[in-house]
Amino acid sequence: MSIIDLKGIYTAYEGGDKPVINDLSLRVERGEYVVVGGPNSAGKTTLLESINGLVRITHGSAIVCGLDLQSNADEVRRKVGYVIQNFYFDPFTPFTVEQVVMMGRFGRLGLLNRPKNDDYDAAEKAIRLVGIEDLAHKTIGTLSGGQQQKVMIAHNIAKEPEVLMLDEPFSNLDFHAREYLQCIFRDIVRSGTPILMVAHAFDGLPEIRIHLIVMNRGRISLDAFCEASEVESIIRTECVW
Ligand SMILES: Nc1ncnc2c1ncn2[C@@H]1O[C@H](COP(=O)(O)OP(=O)(O)O)[C@@H](O)[C@H]1O
Ligand SMILES: [Mg+2]
């Protein structure tokens, strides 16, 4: 069974006159590292939001984590990790990094249950993996954009999702941090959990087979497998700027 199986989907924003995504089909299997490229406004973010049940699918069928997305969006969101493209934390946001990462467990816990040992372990492990132990007791709003990005990655790793989606997660991170995180992502993929990443910079991609998707104007114009070293040049030639 594919983790993501979209067949001929169309999605539109409320009040939008025409669909942003047009007749798109995509399958993602366990253990795949999927890179999504394409020019601005191609619909990359909208694709991730559709998979996460945040944008209405008007036609077509969408099975995510074995569930029919249209009738199970809440449950799908509990199973999918999603690091959004642009987020902003008010400087006075009262949560520490530790608490924000623990919130990644809330979907499993339910709101009224207190975290158990498993939950503390998963949160601690994610913090250690991403290398943000030194930030654990700081409040999230006082961190730099890049540090906040790492926290949101740790939050989604603590969630132990069935698929991890990331929308331009490296925009505020330097080469060293990108390479470090890419190693973590490689290990996640090797453990079987697929990753679906929208990206613009491809240095530091792990040397594994990449499932490459290029989007143009709401459609997938290329869906192929390639080596990490080929990703950048293929995207360059496939994009309609
Ligand atoms: N909330 C929204 N309401 C209406 N239209 C939107 C919204 N978000 C994005 N769009 C439109 O959808 C199209 C695709 O946007 P997006 O998915 O963000 O592209 P990308 O991530 O590839 O840059 C754009 O034309 C954009 O203007
Ligand atoms: Mg986007």
| Residue 220 CA to ligand 1 centre (angstroms) | 15
**pLDDT of 229:** 95
**pLDDT of 86:** 86
- Rounded to whole angstroms, the Cα distance separating 31 from 23 reads 25
Q: Indicate the number of domains in the chain.
A: 1
Ligand nearest to the CA of 168: 2
Ligand 1 pocket, mutate which of 36, 46, 215 (most atoms under 8 A from CB) = 46
- CB under 8 Å to 128, separation ≥6 — which residues? none
Torsions phi, psi for 6 (to 5 deg)? -105, 130
**pLDDT of 203:** 82
Residues with beta carbon < 5 A to ion ligand 2? Answer: 44-45, 85
Task: Kindly state if the Cβ of 214 falls inside 6 Å of ligand 1.
Answer: no
Q: Nearest C-alpha to atom 7 of ligand 1 is from which residue?
A: 13
Q: Which CATH number goes with the domain that contains 62?
A: 3.40.50.300
CA neighbor of 154 nearest in space, from 110, 116, 176, 184: 184
**pLDDT of 17:** 82
Ligand nearest to the CA of 56: 1
- Which domain range does residue 204 map to? 4-238
Per run of 10 residues, the mean pLDDT along the chain (length 241 residues) is 97 89 98 97 97 95 97 96 92 96 92 90 98 98 95 98 97 92 97 96 91 97 97 93 76
Structure tokens at 17: 């006159």
**pLDDT of 182:** 96
| Residue 13 CA to ligand 1 centre (angstroms) | 8
Rounded to two decimals, the pTM is 0.96
Residue 1 CA neighbour count, 13 Å, CB half: 9
